[in-house]
């Protein structure tokens, strides 16, 4: 506690609050840190729960240096305030001491179904329940948590933290129906007849493909699916390539290396500083023996029925007219091959096409469910958010989407 209070005293309590502006959830960071500095952890918790219910999770897994900490004024001349560590501590303390989320009766008598118990669905459920709605969460897995439970490895986010967070949210009186999948165990039409409003937040956890030759060979996997199901091949003594530069790529590479792979390569077509993953995640992966091939691209996966080799090519970064970000361009004649046993695709994700089609809702050209500015889908009373509508793929942005949707659902129901 003393160490964290000392960290809190470093906060300059800036009037412009750049950290607050850089937080996807808009957390009042200076105010909660001030409460920590004064030793009032319950007040710090109350301040944070005005905007978030996932502080114990976000404090651990958010890309803080690309968000709040990256905008901290202290970081200009020294180290930024460790906002994530302080946020996690405040929530850990609250969960341990049993602090409750505050409720009112604004939506008393209203029934809302939330389809999907990940960050977006949990946040939407919590803010609706805090305002008196009777919420029921439908979840296809046996436990709630979504990507945090089934996509982020335990070494980054302990399962105990997720379970305590979920239980705290459920203590608002939220009902759960696990092992229930939309389009299989029930239809959207059936649900809409039972509830005053419906929120869809079943995520977009189907791995995207590179659309290159050999992607259908045995030994090619999707990073999202490997992390979600935990069904891995035997990597011992094998060489594995992970294509991508985001959090899924880092989590997959580190998990596979820990499972005994002889070599794990992360192949990324841009430079290190352009990687979506946090720098410290890259550093941790390097410490664990993961090799990085920056400015390299996979052209083909070679093999007879199963993966045997990769054909790769080096890339150069060029500035294209009208673009702010440097673009990778293949360097002609720089092709080379590398022996390989398995390939993991971690180049993005998309919504489950089959489930989306069964909803009968209008979609975008990218296959996401289409919503208006109020998060309403093409069906009256049915809202959607999170990765399902193309929100930035982080826990905090998904949670922000869920909170925003809850606000719109409240306006719709009142």
Contact 265, 293 (CB under 8 A): yes
> What's the confidence (pLDDT) of residue 412?
97
pLDDT at 5: 84
Q: What angle do CA 23, 25, 31 make, to 5 degrees?
A: 70
Residues, the chain, total? 414
Q: Are 88 and 157 in contact (CB under 8 A)?
A: no
Residue 103 CB coordination number (10 Å): 12
What CA–CA distances, in Å, run from 40 to 43, 103, 352, 403?
Answer: 5, 21, 45, 26
| Domains of the chain (ranges, CATH numbers) | 2-97 (1.10.1060.10), 111-204+351-413 (3.50.50.60), 208-348 (3.50.50.60)
What's the confidence (pLDDT) of residue 274?
A: 92
β-sheet bridge partners, residue 330: 315
Which pLDDT score, from 0 to 100, does residue 219 have? Answer: 98
Among the listed residues 49, 60, 53, the one whose alpha carbon sits nearest the alpha carbon of residue 117:
53
pLDDT at 324: 82
Helices (H), 176-246: 188-194, 223-229
- Amino acid 322: pLDDT: 82
State how far the Cα of 11 lies from the Cα of 65, in Å rounded to an integer. Answer: 16
Q: Which of 314, 293, 189, 203 is nearest to 245 (CA)?
A: 293
Q: Is 197 exposed, middle or buried (0-12, 13-18, 19+ CB in 10 A)?
A: buried
pLDDT of residue 2: 78
Q: What is the pLDDT of residue 320?
A: 87
DSSP structural state of residue 9: H
> Is residue 243 a contact partner of residue 250, using CB atoms and an 8 Å limit?
no
H runs (alpha helix) in 77-153: 83-97, 119-130, 147-150
pLDDT recorded at residue 204 = 86
> 363, 356 in Cβ contact below 8 A?
yes
Alpha-carbon dihedral 175, 181, 183, 185, rounded to 10 degrees = -80
- Give the bridge partners for 297, in sequence order: 313
Residues lower than pLDDT 50 in the chain: none
Dist. CA 224–CA 108, nearest whole Å? 38
Q: Which two tokens stand for residue 220?
A: 């090619």
Yes or no: say if 65 and 75 are a contact pair by the CB < 8 Å rule.
no
- 274 burial type by CB count under 10 A (0-12 exposed, 13-18 middle, 19+ buried): middle
DSSP string, 343-364: EEE-S-EE--HHHHHHHT--B-
Global confidence as pTM: 0.93
Q: What distance in Å separates the CA atoms of residue 7 and residue 16, rounded to the nearest whole number?
A: 20
Spatial CA neighbour of 391 closest among 84, 118, 55, 54: 118
Tokens of 227: 């992390």
Would you state the pLDDT for residue 157?
Answer: 96
How many CB atoms within 10 Å of residue 113? Answer: 24
């Amino acid at each position: 506690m003393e160490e964290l209070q000392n960290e809190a005293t470093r906060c300059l309590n800036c009037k412009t609050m750049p950290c607050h502006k850089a937080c996807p959830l808009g957390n009042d960071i200076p105010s909660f840190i001030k409460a920590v500095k004064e030793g009032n952890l319950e007040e710090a918790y109350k301040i944070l729960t005005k905007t978030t219910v996932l502080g114990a999770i976000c404090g651990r897994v958010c890309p803080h240096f690309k968000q709040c900490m990256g905008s901290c004024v202290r970081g200009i001349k020294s180290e930024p305030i460790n906002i994530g560590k302080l946020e996690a501590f405040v929530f850990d303390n609250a969960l341990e001491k049993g602090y409750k989320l505050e409720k009112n009766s604004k939506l008393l008598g209203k029934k809302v179904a939330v389809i999907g118990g990940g960050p977006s669905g949990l946040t939407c459920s919590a803010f609706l329940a805090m305002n008196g709605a009777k919420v029921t969460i439908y979840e296809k897995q046996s436990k709630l948590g979504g990507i945090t439970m089934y996509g982020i490895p335990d070494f980054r986010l302990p399962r105990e933290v997720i379970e305590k967070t979920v239980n705290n949210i459920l203590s608002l009186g939220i009902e759960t129906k696990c092992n229930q999948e939309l389009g299989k165990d029930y239809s959207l039409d059936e649900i809409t007849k039972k509830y005053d409003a419906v929120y869809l937040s079943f995520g977009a956890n189907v791995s995207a493909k590179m659309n290159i030759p050999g992607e259908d060979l045995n030994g090619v996997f999707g990073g999202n699916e490997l992390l979600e199901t935990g069904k891995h091949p035997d990597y011992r003594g094998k060489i594995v390539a992970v294509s991508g530069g985001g959090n899924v790529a880092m989590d997959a590479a580190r998990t596979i290396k820990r499972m005994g792979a002889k070599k794990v390569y992360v192949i990324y077509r841009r430079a290190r500083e352009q990687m979506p993953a946090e720098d410290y995640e890259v550093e941790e992966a390097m410490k664990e023996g993961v090799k990085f091939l920056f400015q390299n691209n996979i052209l083909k996966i070679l093999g007879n029925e199963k993966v045997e080799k990769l054909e790769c090519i080096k890339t150069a970064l060029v500035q294209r007219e009208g673009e702010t970000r440097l673009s990778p361009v293949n360097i002609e004649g720089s092709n080379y091959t590398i022996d390989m046993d398995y390939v993991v695709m971690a180049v993005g994700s998309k919504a489950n096409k089959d489930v989306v089609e069964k909803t009968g809702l209008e979609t975008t050209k990218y296959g996401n469910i289409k919503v208006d500015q109020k998060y309403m889908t093409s069906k009256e009373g049915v809202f959607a958010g999170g990765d399902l509508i193309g929100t930035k793929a982080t826990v905090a942005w998904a949670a922000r989407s869920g909170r925003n949707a809850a606000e719109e659902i409240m306006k719709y129901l009142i």
